[in-house]
A and B are shown apart, each in its own frame.
Chain A
Amino acid sequence: MKQGQHVKDSDLETIMGSLLRIGVLIAATVVLIGGILYLFQHGRAEPHYHTFSGEPKDLKNIKSIFTEVFKLQSTAIIQLGVLVLIATPIARIIFSIVGFVLEKDYLYVVITFIVLGIIAFSMLSGLAG
């Protein structure tokens, strides 16, 4: 039985590994496109990073990022790529839940749900203000 479990584990991991790589590739492509556009739009401007002022509202809210992306706003395209990147490990967790269900390992289904819940809490709780 132990052997069987091990084989399934490595199958799962192979799929997960490719999933992560595809996610990173998509994210990097989106960021690259946004980045080239960004240098055309803002390349000659003066940077402003010495003092922290936080990003404008339309660059930290998912809905407004999408609106700006369709206006070809380069900074919003980069943010979209960053969001895809943040989503890759989360996708891996969701995929793990499916895997553990298939293996009938309900202890780890619960454990994985806890991890997912903590991440969801960090993003949706408004902890960030």
Chain B
Amino acid sequence: MSVLVLTLIILLGAFLAGLIGSLTGLGGGVIIIPLLTLVLKVDIHYAIGASLVSVIATSSGSAAAYVKEGISNIRVGMFLEIATTVGAVIGAFIAVYAETNMIAVIFGLVLVLSAALSFKKHAEIIASKPNRLAALLKLNSSYPTAAGEINYTVQHVPGGFFMMMIAGVLSGLLGIGSGALKVLAMDNIMKLPFKVSTTTSNFMIGVTAAASAGVYFERGYIDPGLAMPVMLGVLAGAFAGSKILVKAQTKSLRVVFAIVITFLAIQMIYNGLNGKI
């Protein structure tokens, strides 16, 4: 296989990853890394580096669209970025010394978890209980809905902060955005409204990925021949996805995606345990 053929295959795969990632909200990294490692037999360190680049691209590229809706909470985002960036640096540091097959097994487990989380029901309960720490950090805010502005308060700040640190470690270790875990921290633990959680999480993903991308870049884990088709493909796919977003079809798409992801996860774990990755 020549470089040209490999580049075209990755470009196509990355386009699909970006497209499906943006339609399901799971992000492209979870498909890119299995594609590169399982199908194209690329070393997982290179795959993580390329994926991180695409994570920054999609997060930054879609931020403009989300911001227009005016529902992300930049103070919650900025405060929690302390946790995610510290985690990301720790994760990238672990990745430098971790065996490739161990990374593959952890990746598989996180993949299953992400797929499961995408099916969680989101009951929209607006918290209004006052919380001292949240008030001190000015995290409480309001967001626009069809029924007008709704005020919400933020709960369990330390718990959310800790969960965010774990999300950061996984992001730095595996080269994914770990958006599912970020949403879990804000939605389930801190009781932010679901829409606020998802948009704020998207805003944070790029910063988290940039923190670990610096380490990967310096280590020489970001290869231009791979980063180029991955970044361009995912960006084009995510852009196409944002144009064709049809609400009615996302549910069945999500089911298909979860099945694919679970299959990929089993492959990653199996190959990791057998030392074939």
Interface residues, chain A, CB within 8 Å of chain B? 6, 9-10, 12-14, 16-18, 20-21, 23-24, 27-28, 31-32, 34-35, 38-39, 42-47, 49-52, 54-56, 59-60, 74-76, 78-79, 81-83, 85-90, 92-93, 96, 105, 107-108, 111-112, 114-115, 118-119, 121-123, 127-129
Contact = CB atoms under 8 A, between A and B. Distances in A.
A2 B75 CA distance: 14
A115 B75 CA distance: 12
Contact of A82 (B3, B53, B81, B96): B53
A5 to B, nearest CB: 9
Given A21-B64, A43-B4, A122-B85, 8 more contacts: A31-B227, A42-B3, A49-B225, A79-B222, A81-B231, A88-B56, A115-B207, A119-B214
Interface string B58-69: 011101111110
- Give 10 closest A-B pairs by Cβ, nearest first: A55-B220, A17-B67, A54-B220, A17-B64, A78-B224, A123-B214, A128-B218, A52-B43, A89-B206, A43-B4
Main DSSP-derived SS at the B contact region: helix
Interface residues of B, number: 70
Interface of B: 1-4, 6-7, 40-43, 45-46, 53, 56-57, 59-61, 63-68, 70, 72, 74-75, 78-79, 81-82, 85-86, 88-89, 92-93, 96, 100, 137-138, 141-142, 206-207, 209-229, 231-232, 235
Chain A, interface SS category:
helix
Given A49-B40, A85-B60, A111 B82 contact: yes
